[in-house]
Structure 1
Amino acid sequence: MFTGIVEAIGEVKEYLSSDISEAGGNGASVTIKNADSILGDCHLGDSIAINGTCLTVTRFDSDTFKVGISDETLRRTNLGLLSRGDKVNLERAISGNVRFGGHMVQGHIDTVAKIVDRQADGNSISFQFQLRDREFINYIVLKGFIAVDGTSLTVTDVDYREAAFKIMMVAYTQNKVVLPKKRLGDLVNVEVDLTGKLIARQVELQLEGQAFNKNSTLYKLVSKIVDQKLAN
C-alpha cells in the first residue's frame, strides 16, 4: 500500500524488454538509479512503486535497484515505454508510522491515459487526460482522489462522454514529480480510487441478488410496475 506522495525521482539505468530471470515468461526488468534516498532501509522482496506501479525489488545496492515487470503489468501500464535516461516517480510501501498526506493507493494500475491538454493557471498547471479504457471513467468523480503516475491528485473536472478528466498541479508538486516533464500525447499510469470500485461491485451484487429473489424489495417493486403496465 502507498500514499501517492512521491518520495524521489529516479532515472532508468537499464531496461530489458525480455528478462526471464527476473520476471518470468516474456516479462521485462528495469534498473533504476539515483534512488539512494529510498534505499537506506531496503530489503530484497520489498515493494517500491515506479510511476505508481507496485513492483518487487530483486536486487539493489546503495544507489540502484532492479525489479521484474510481468506481462500483465506491461499491458496495463506505461512501463513498457521506458528507456534509458527516463525519469520515474518512486515511493516505498508505507510503514506503520507514515502520515497519510495523500490517499490510499494500491499500486495496482487500472489503465493508462493520454495527456491531451495542459494549461498554465497562475503558478499551477491544469492537465487534462483521456483514458485508453473508457469504462474506468465511471469511478472518477469531481473532487475525488486519483493517482497519476503514482502521484495523489484531486480531480477538478470530469467529462464522462469523452472519458476525460482534469487535475491541477501546484508549483511545489511540479518540482517533485515527473508529470510536468511530459509532453502532450504521452501516456501516464492511472489508478482510480479503490472506494468507487468497491461500492460499484457491492451495488452490482445486491442488484443481482434481489433481481431473482421473489421475496426481495426490488423484485416486488418491478413486479408491481409490470402488473400496472399490463393492466393499462
Structure 2
Amino acid sequence: MFTGLVETIGTVLEYKSLDTSETGGNGVSITIGDCSSILGDVHLGDSISTNGVCLTVVEFDEARTQFKVGVAPETLRRTDLGDLGEGSKVNLERAVTSEVRLGGHVVQGHVDTIATITNRQADGNAITFTFKLRETENINYIVEKGFIAVDGTSLTVTHVDYDTFEFSIMMVSYTQGKVIMPLKPVGGTVNIEVDLTGKLIAKQIDVNLASQIGNPDSALARLVDRLVEEKVAKALGK
C-alpha cells in the first residue's frame, strides 16, 4: 500500500527486454538509479511504486544507489511502463509502514488504465491538467473533489466530463517540482489508479441488485412487479 506522496524522482539506467524471466516470460527488467534517498532500508522483495505501479525489488547494488525490478507482460499491457527507456524519469515511493502519516490517500499501486494528457494550462503558479481515459468505463469511478492517483501521485479531481471521458486536476507549484508530470507534454500518457472506495461501492451495488432481481420475493422484485401492474392498468384504462 502507498499514500500517493512521491518521495523522489529516479532515472531509468537500463531497460531490458527478456524472453524468459522471473516476470513470467516476455517481460522486461528495469534498473533505476538516482534514488539513494529511498534505498537506505531496502530489502529484496520490497515494493516500490514506480510511476504508480507496485513493483518488487529483485536486486540492488551494495552502495544502495540503484535497484532493479521485473515487469510482467500483463503490467506492460495495463500501464505505460513499456514506453520507458534509458534516461526516463520516474516517480518513486516506498510502501507505507505503520509509522507513516497518510497524507495522500490509500493507493494500491494497481493501475486501472492509461490516460492521455489532452490539455495543460497555467493558472497562476499552478497548472491544470486534463486527461482522457483509454478504458473509458473507469470514468464512472471518478468524481469531482475525489481522490485519484496519476503516475502514483495522489491528486484531487477538479472537474469530470462524463461525455468525453475526461477529468482534470490542478497541480500546485510545490508538487510540480517533486513529480514528473510537468515534464510531460500534451499527448503524453500517464498511469491512472481510481479511488478503490468507488470501485468497492459499485461492486457491492451490482451484486446486491443482481441478487434482488434474481429473487422474486425481494423488495426490488416486488416493487418492479407493482410498477409494471400499475403501468399496464393505466394503459388499459383501469
SS in 2 for 1:142: coil
Contact 1:158/1:166, CA 8 A, preserved across alignment:
yes
Given residue 53 of structure 2, which amino acid in structure 1 is its aligned partner? Answer: T
Preserved contact between residue 49 and residue 91 of structure 1 (Cα < 8 Å): yes
Structure 1 CA distance, aligned partners of 2:56 and 2:20?
15
Distance (Å, rounded) in 2 between the aligned partners of 1:19 and 1:145:
38
Q: Which residue of 2 aligns with 1:92?
A: 94
Q: Distance in 1 between matches of 2:47 and 2:8?
A: 15
Find out whether 1:41 has 2:41 as its counterpart.
yes
Q: Which residue of 1 aligns with 2:183?
A: 181
Q: Displaced runs of 4+ in structure 1, greater than 2 A?
A: 17-22
Query: Is 2:11 aligned against 1:11?
Result: yes
**Residues 137-192 of structure 1 deviation map (CA, whole Å, 9 limit, x = unaligned):** 00000000000000000000000000000000000000000000011101000000
- Determine which structure has more spread, i.e. the larger CA radius of gyration: 2
How is 1:1-232 mapped onto 2 (pairs within 5 angstroms)?
A: 1-18=1-18, 20-61=20-61, 62-232=64-234
Unaligned runs of 5+ in 1: none
- For this pair of structures, how many residues does the alignment match? 232
Q: Which amino acid aligns with 1:41?
A: D
- Residue 230 of structure 1 deviates from its aligned partner by 1.8
> In structure 2, what residue type is equivalent to 1:98?
V
Over 3 Å counting, the alpha-carbon distance change for 1:14 and 1:140 in structure 2 is: same
TM-score scaled by structure 1? 0.98
Alpha-carbon distance, 1:19 to partner: 5.3
**Preserved CA contact (<8 Å) 1:30 1:68:** yes
- CA shift for structure 1 position 20: 2.5
Distance 1:64 1:227 in 2: 69
Structure 2 stretches lacking a partner, 5+ long: none
Deviations along 1:175-221, one digit per CA (max 9) or x if unpaired, are 00000001110100000000000000000001000002122110000
State the alpha-carbon separation in 1 of the partners of residues 72 and 176 from structure 2: 30
- Give percent identity, aligned residues only: 62
Partner of 1:85, secondary structure, is coil
Amino acid of the structure 2 residue aligned with 1:45: G
Q: 1:105 to 1:72 in 2, by over 3 A?
A: same
Aligned residue identity for 2:133? L
Q: Determine helix, strand or coil for the equivalent of 1:21.
A: coil
SS where residue 76 of structure 2 aligns?
helix
Does the CA contact (< 8 Å) of 1:33 and 1:65 recur in 2? yes
| 1:76-98 CA-partner distances (Å, limit 9, x unpaired) | 10100000001000000000110
State the superposition RMSD in angstroms.
Answer: 0.8
